[in-house]
Amino acid sequence: MRKPRMLALVTALAVGVPIAFAVTTTTSADAAVTGTTIPLKVANNSGRGDQVYLYNIGTLLATGQQGWADAAGTFHAWPAGGNPPTAAPDASIVGPASGQSITINMPKFSGRVYFSYGQKLVFKLTTGGLVQPAVQNPTDPNANILFNWTEYTLNNDGIWINSTQVDMFSAPYAVGVKKGDGSTINTGRLKSGGYNSFFAALRGQPGGWANLIRTRPDGTILRALAPGHGIEAGGLPATVLNDYVNRVWTKYSSTTLTVTPFANQPNTKYYGRVSGNVMNFTNSAGAVVTSFQKPDSDSIFGCYKLLDAPNDLVRGPISRTLCAGYNRSTLLTNANQPYNVPSAFYQDTVTNHYARKIHAQMANGKAYAFAFDDVGANESLVHDGSPQQAYITLDPLS
């Protein structure tokens, strides 16, 4: 069975912007999840004394409705919102104290499980849907709350659950699944001391990268913004990747970039060449199938705008390959992409240093540090077709 990509769900850019959850579907000859829920065990190993609050929000796959699930896994649709946004119902679940765990039920959702320390999160509803925290906005009501989230899809074919740093690096956690055969798989755990080491490394990176770090007024570190959000917030220069892009543009003005986007279809190839401000891709017959304008840094970090990746079989797969190559700075290393040699990632001085430093601190090297970090299976994702239970473990901030 082909593994679907867990879409990294980007938070709202500002209060008042609704979010639509992506629904991941797949086909399988042995659909295994016959119940409406599976248990989710949340263990608190953070060592913190703050009260933890949990939220399970997303899209109910059976109906396409957006809403939230309570601890029993019962779905509640969001009521109509307003303009200006109105307060959402309190969807919080009281989480476990440090050293303890609780078990709740996960419905067949494509969504997120949020967790916060010390304070409940503020969710609002517009006429278009749910407004989620926008931590790059200093006036967001959640800006001074320590929180994070995981993403998952649970459907008839199983569960896909991942940790994510696509929007921010914050309170650490790991995810796991007890498989149908009784074994357990997990991912997302930092190395010992990895949390503090990441922030120390980011502080030491010249060029504005330290400006991604956000603290409370008392100096407590809350998170590091992803670089696209850092550009939006004015902390990271909008030109931070320009030198690398210019060198890529120069190289492929006289060299062909070959993209083989599907590992299981090695004969499906597309060929890129730069002409002026455009990189054109042709198929094996020589016909132009899609073209990309010269991307700016924000397009690269977000894998959108000038690197938009529609859910099709041509432009999207090419775009996601380019996005990974730019973020990992491998497009100059090899003219055949994707170039899945992790030791060669992030070796250029102009690269996604945020992603580089996150991967360096992960116990298994896997992370979702940008939206298409799953190119080459370098993402922090676990899956099983017949899961008995899922896990989220809140880890120490050390």
Question: CATH 3.30.920.50 in the chain, residues?
Answer: 242-351
* Residue 10 or residue 225, greater confidence: 225
Average pLDDT score over residue span 283-307: 98
- Is residue 32 very low, low, confident or very high in pLDDT (cuts 50, 70, 90)? low
Q: Which amino acid is at 327?
A: N
Least confident of 20-24, 122-126, 139-143, 175-179: 20-24
Active-site residue (options: 140, 157, 167, 374): 167
Q: Of 49, 71, 65, 67, whose CA–CA distance to 57 is shortest?
A: 67
Confidence band of 172 (pLDDT split at 50, 70, 90): very high
CB 360 within 8 A of CB 374: no
| Dihedral (CA of 230, 198, 371, 341) sign | positive
- The whole-number average pLDDT for the span 261-283 is 97
Crossing angle (nearest 10°) for helices 242-251 and 315-327:
120
**Cβ density class 235-265: b for 16+ within 10 Å, e for less:** bbeeebbeebbeebbeebeeeebebbbeeee
Please determine, for residue 11, whether its predicted confidence score (pLDDT) is greater than 60: no
- Categorize the per-residue pLDDT at 135 as very low, low, confident or very high, splitting at 50, 70 and 90: confident
| pTM of the shown model | 0.92
Element (H, E) at 195: helix 194-203
pLDDT (tens digit, 9 = 90+) per residue, 53-101? 999 999 999 999 999 999 999 999 999 999 999 999 999 999 999 999 9
Q: CATH 2.40.50.100: does it fit domain 37-233+356-394?
A: no
What's residue 26's pLDDT?
39
Helix, strand, or coil (residue 134)? coil
pLDDT at 25 over 70: no
> Of these residues, 140, 151, 373, 379, which one is catalytic?
151
Q: Reduce the DSSP state of residue 137 to 3 states and report it.
A: coil
Residue 24 pLDDT exceeds 50:
no
Nearest C-alpha neighbor of 134 from the set 120, 150, 122: 122
Is 30 among the residues known to form the active site? Answer: no
**Adjacent-strand bridge partners of 105:** 39
Per-residue confidence band for 33, with pLDDT thresholds at 50, 70 and 90: confident
Mean pLDDT, rounded, for 264-285: 97
- C-alpha 132/C-alpha 143 separation (Å) is 12
Predicted pLDDT of residue 62 = 93
Which residues in the chain are classed under CATH 2.60.110.10? 37-233+356-394
Q: Is the pLDDT of residue 310 over 50?
A: yes
**The two structure tokens encoding residue 362:** 């992960």
How much helix, strand and coil, in percent to the nearest 5, is found in the chain?
15, 30, 55
242-351 to CATH, choices 3.40.190.10, 3.30.572.10, 3.30.920.50, 3.30.565.10: 3.30.920.50
Output the pLDDT for position 105.
97
- Is residue 19's pLDDT more than 70? no
34: pLDDT strictly greater than 80: no
For residues 176-205, average pLDDT: 98
How far apart are alpha carbons 242 and 238 in whole angstroms? Answer: 9
pLDDT at 394 over 60: yes
Give me the pLDDT at residue 236, please. 98
Judge whether 346 and 353 are in contact, CB under 8 Å. yes
To the query of whether residue 151 is one of the catalytic residues in this protein, the response is yes
pLDDT over threshold 90, residue 16? no
Q: Tens digits of per-residue pLDDT, 331-379?
A: 999 999 999 999 999 999 999 999 999 999 999 999 999 999 999 999 9
- Residue 123, classed as helix, strand or coil, is coil
For residue range 205-231, list pLDDT tens digits in order. Answer: 999 999 999 999 999 999 999 999 999
CB 368 within 8 A of CB 379: yes
Q: Give the span between the Cα atoms of 269 and 260, in whole angstroms.
A: 5
Do strands 37-44 and 389-394 pair parallel, antiparallel, or not at all (unpaired)?
parallel
Per-residue model confidence (pLDDT) at position 281: 98
Alpha carbons 183 and 193: distance in angstroms, whole number: 27
What average pLDDT is seen over the chain?
Answer: 92
pLDDT digits (tens, 9 = 90+) for 251-266: 999 999 999 999 999 9
Instruction: Report residue 27's pLDDT band, with 50, 70 and 90 as the boundaries.
Output: very low
Give me the phi and psi of 305, to 5 degrees please: 55, -110
